[in-house]
Amino acid sequence: MNELALVAARCSEDRAVERDGAWVPDGDPMEAALYALARRCGVDIDSDSRLRPLKREFPFDPKRRMMSVVVGSQLLLKGAPESVFDRCSPVVGADQAVQGLTQRGLRVIAVASRAIDELSSASSASDFERNLTLLGLVGIQDPPRESVREAIIACRAAGIRVAMLTGDNQETAAAIARQVGLIDGGGLIVSGPELPADQAVLGALVDRADGVVISRVTPEDKLRIATALQGRGHVVAMTGDGVNDGPALQTADIGVAMGESGTDVAREAADLVLLDDDFGTIVTAVQHGRITFSNMRRFLTYHLVCNMAELTPFVIWAVSGGRFPLALGVLQILCFDVGADVLPALALGLEHASGRTQNEPLQGRHLIDHKVLTRAFAVLGPAESAMEMVAFCVALLALGWVPGHRFPHGHDLRSASGTAFATVIFCQIGVAFACRSATQWPGRLGWFSNRLLLVGVALALVLLACFLFIPPIASILGQAPPPPLGWLMAVSGIPVMLGIDALHKWIRHRRSERAVPPSDQRGFPVLPTNHLGVA
């Protein structure tokens, strides 16, 4: 056992170090575990004379799947069992031992050595790595984090399909995938050497499975898989931590490097760096991104509706050649934009998440699309503009204006303009609540669940009172308090806007129910990971 631990540790460069009273890996966690094993066996790695001097080193190669060093007159080697066994004298029961360890989800390392007599005739790794004596197997438990199973469930609910790409043995990879629920209902389990050479076939093979586990992958395999999935229209996020993962991280649409265990090369090649090396953090980031996207659409819809209402009086005045009175002035519009509208818009930008928001893939969607434009410029915008102009006209008529007889002026015009101003404010309150969801009645979300929106509405009403009832301000803005009928029209803007929005949502819902379900061409993002958040 001591010989096994000594050789395994000498073939490792990284160590475990004591920091703040706790032992933590300094580099690769697997090599740190082998160092800890040697220390527990009483082997002093740093001062044992049997580990000196180091004459040659053959670094780990993904194709050879092993590494070796020449120390004194011995060759010390560690690597994947299937690679090491081919260079060792047969050992009865070795394959069965490997199978037993891998079925338990353990990462298995084979350790071997040999005496070197003819150093002068050996020049390459293959010359040294032959006629070895197998010293034993090391099973390393590398359990997935507790959050991974929940993260996998969240991924499936959100339309994200996950593939596990790992250099581990197939049995080990499959066992871990079952632990985290990746292949509970079947899935695809294949090794890297078995992958088809044709890119189209490879993409179809990986794309068709609900859960994908590919073991013994090389950096070239990762690159091919990412390219093949992109060729099928997917958005691919690839995680990695090694130097050789750089090309795949750069090729993927989103390269995610491990911040704690990753190399500098991986971090430089990636678009994002995962500081805690936790797969669940990726899922959380995706959900927050979708929430932010939806909130920006709410924000834009709210402002576009208001912009249309602000523009309508000027269009009508211009088309009429100035014969129809101007309902709103420039200063009143500035009061909308820099006063009453700001806080409700910010509140929509901080709207809480809903299950639909988190589970709706964004591929192929834009911040401003036909749904936003239709809702703003064909439904809510025209409705608010109509309410604004009808309230303006009703106020003028209530104050005695007769169309065609005289042009309104003085207090009557200012009072009617105040009516239009108040109507837009109240309509925007209804729009703010309507924009909290693109599909649901705002009452189902809870009228008081977005407290910042309530504060924004209250502030808008306070500002409305200031703009209308403080004489110097009202005089500068060119408006006056509305007549009683004008107030009735203005306040009715809230239920009218909510009702029109509810009707529009109902019509869209009925149309979606009658629509034929689309084929599975939505292009779900795929998040291949080399260790699924393993600690």
Q: What is the pLDDT of residues 398-407, one digit of tens each?
A: 888 877 667 7
Domain segments of the chain: what residues?
2-141, 147-283, 289-514
Query: What is the per-residue pLDDT for 467?
Result: 95
Query: What is the per-residue pLDDT for 270?
Result: 92
**Residue 289 confidence class, pLDDT cut points 50, 70, 90:** confident
Q: What is the average pLDDT across 299-317?
A: 94
Query: What is the per-residue pLDDT for 48?
Result: 60
User: Hunting for tokens 């995706």 — which residue is that?
Assistant: 286
**Residue 206 confidence class, pLDDT cut points 50, 70, 90:** confident
The answer, yes or no, to whether residue 523 has pLDDT greater than 60, is no
The answer, yes or no, to whether residue 520 has pLDDT greater than 60, is no
Q: What is the average pLDDT across 441-454?
A: 91
From residue 188, give the alpha-carbon distance in Å to each of 1, 125, 197, 209: 38, 35, 17, 6
The answer, yes or no, to whether residue 530 has pLDDT greater than 70, is no
Q: Which fold has domain 2-141?
A: Calcium-transporting ATPase, cytoplasmic domain N (3.40.1110)
Distance of CA 283 to the CA centre of its chain: 6
Query: What is the per-residue pLDDT for 155?
Result: 86
Q: What is the average pLDDT across 237-264?
A: 88
Query: What is the per-residue pLDDT for 531?
Result: 35
Q: Which of residues 75 and 431 earns the better pLDDT score?
A: 431
Contact 528, 163 (CB under 8 A): yes
User: 58-82, pLDDT tens digit by residue?
Assistant: 888 878 889 998 887 888 999 999 9
**Residue 500 confidence class, pLDDT cut points 50, 70, 90:** very high
Contact 497, 208 (CB under 8 A): no
**Residue 253 confidence class, pLDDT cut points 50, 70, 90:** very high
Q: What is the average pLDDT across 125-152?
A: 87
Query: What is the per-residue pLDDT for 337?
Result: 87
Query: What is the per-residue pLDDT for 496?
Result: 96
Query: What is the per-residue pLDDT for 492?
Result: 96
User: 363-397, pLDDT tens digit by residue?
Assistant: 667 888 899 999 999 999 999 999 999 999 999 98
Query: What is the per-residue pLDDT for 53?
Result: 66
Of the listed ranges 85-99, 354-368, 427-441, the one predicted with least confidence: 354-368
CATH number of 147-283: 3.40.50.1000
Q: Which of residues 365 and 356 earns the better pLDDT score?
A: 365
Q: Which of residues 127 and 103 earns the better pLDDT score?
A: 103
Q: Which two tokens stand for residue 529?
A: 């990971």
Measured at the alpha carbon of residue 303, what is the angle toward residues 302 and 309, in degrees to the nearest 5? 100
CA distance 361 to 355: 12
Partners of 116 in beta bridges: none
From residue 49, give the alpha-carbon distance in Å to each of 10, 23, 46, 118, 409: 12, 25, 9, 22, 104
Q: Provide the sign of the torsion angle of the four alpha carbons 85, 88, 89, 93, taken in this order.
A: negative
The answer, yes or no, to whether residue 431 has pLDDT greater than 90, is yes
How much is the pTM?
0.73
CA distance 360 to 290: 8
The answer, yes or no, to whether residue 534 has pLDDT greater than 80, is no
CATH number of 289-514: 1.20.1110.10
Domain 2-141 identical in fold to domain 147-283: no
Query: What is the per-residue pLDDT for 421?
Result: 96
User: Hunting for tokens 């009617």 — which residue is that?
Assistant: 416
Average pLDDT, the chain: 86
Partners of 274 in beta bridges: 258
The answer, yes or no, to whether residue 329 has pLDDT greater than 90, is yes
The pairing of strands 163-165 and 54-61 is: unpaired
CA distance 294 to 122: 64
**Residue 518 confidence class, pLDDT cut points 50, 70, 90:** very low
CA distance 269 to 238: 11
Q: What is the average pLDDT across 502-509?
A: 92
